[in-house]
Amino acid sequence: MLRLALKMLFGDRAKYAMLVCGLSFCALLMSQQTSVFCGLLLWTTATVRNIRVPIWVADSKVEQANEVVPLREIEVQRVRSVPGVEWAVPLFWTILQARLPDGTFQGVQLTGLDGATLVGRPSKMKEGRIEDLRLPNAVIVDQVAIAKFAKRGIRLKVGAVFEINDKEARVVGICETERSFLGQPYVFTTYSRALEYAPPQRKLLSFVLVQPKTGVPVGDLLRRISALGGVRAFTSDQFAWDTLIWYFRNTGIPISFGTVVILGMVVGIAIAGQTFYLFVHENMRFLAALKAMGAGLGVLTRMVFLQAFTVGFIGYGLGVGLAALFGNIVLRKGEPPFYMPWQILAFTGAVIVLICLFSALVGLLKVARTEAAMVFK
């Protein structure tokens, strides 16, 4: 009987194609949009993932990583005095305008690292050496800067020169970083030189980066640092999660992408439910004949469910496969953002299962009401 159910399904090619296409579109829309949404949120934590330190110390009012409330320079010494701190170094981070050789401007995320230790350095250098940051007017740019400068006809390479706040910046290296939600390239230099590039103001320290001593509970150290007053300590993971939650609550990104995902579910339910109902209706005479030959409702139920989940499995595979292909293409280009964890595949699969259940139940209602005698009419 199950074999007969598949023959009935594949025999009606028009309905079969409509079912598969509808479910494929639903799976593609949901998995692709949720992957772009996750990738976009992942971009918001780029600074935390690029710097890679155990503990961040910021102003007590800071809620997420892309928000900077300047601190006093003395906060570095105060944090160093806390029991359990192995070392603490300053970090400068802000967005400034870089003046290109042709006179145009480009926003950059200027990151000033501690000159003695270079803590927070880029993890992957493509050209040059990180130690060359200690040279006069030296900066290291990322791959985003190379691409953005290239769009303006400027080939940025080691030895190239541009200006930040009317001061020379000489490229001594090229690194690879995680792309930022703000869309601006990262420019790394030493902390003292970053202060020279930045406009003068009373407070310039952005964050304090901390390494706990071996064996010191991180939770206890966070409480000790926060107890200093005026500052708040985060672990790297906590800072990243707080940033994700802040963007989730305070921007329209979840609503925009959520609306598209819901529309995909509605479209999938509408197309699959209606098409499967028509498929069952057109094959009702065959199902009635099976009833007349003694097939019970249980057998017919298994047949209908097999047909529904067969097209669901095929549609799911095609949909997520196309979404993965899309992601592979855009990841090579670097944008739009795309991140597809296994949870997205599980979520999409669960929705497809629900759509198949709904479609099968719609068809079963028709089957249950069918009388075997109709085959003789």
Q: How confident is the model over 231-254, as a mean pLDDT? A: 90
Note the pLDDT tens digit of each residue in 303-359: 777 777 888 888 889 989 998 888 888 777 767 788 888 898 998 888 888 888 877
Q: How confident is the model over 134-142, as a mean pLDDT? A: 92
**Alpha-carbon span 315 to 302, nearest angstrom:** 20
Q: How confident is the model over 136-146, as a mean pLDDT? A: 91
User: Are the beta carbons of 295 and 20 closer than 8 angstroms?
Assistant: no
pLDDT of residue 210: 95
Note the pLDDT tens digit of each residue in 26-51: 888 888 888 888 888 888 899 999 99
pLDDT of residue 376: 47
pTM, to two decimals:
0.81
Q: Which of 187-191, 207-211, 253-257 has the lowest mean pLDDT?
A: 253-257
**Alpha-carbon span 21 to 201, nearest angstrom:** 60
Is there a cis peptide before residue 199, judged by omega within 30 degrees of 0?
no
**Alpha-carbon span 315 to 295, nearest angstrom:** 29
User: Would you say residue 53 has pLDDT above 60?
Assistant: yes
User: Are the beta carbons of 47 and 66 closer than 8 angstroms?
Assistant: yes
Listed by start position, the domains of the chain span 2-43+253-376, 61-229
Residues 6+ positions from 56 with CB-CB distance below 8 Å: 48, 65, 207, 208, 209, 210, 233, 234, 235, 236, 239
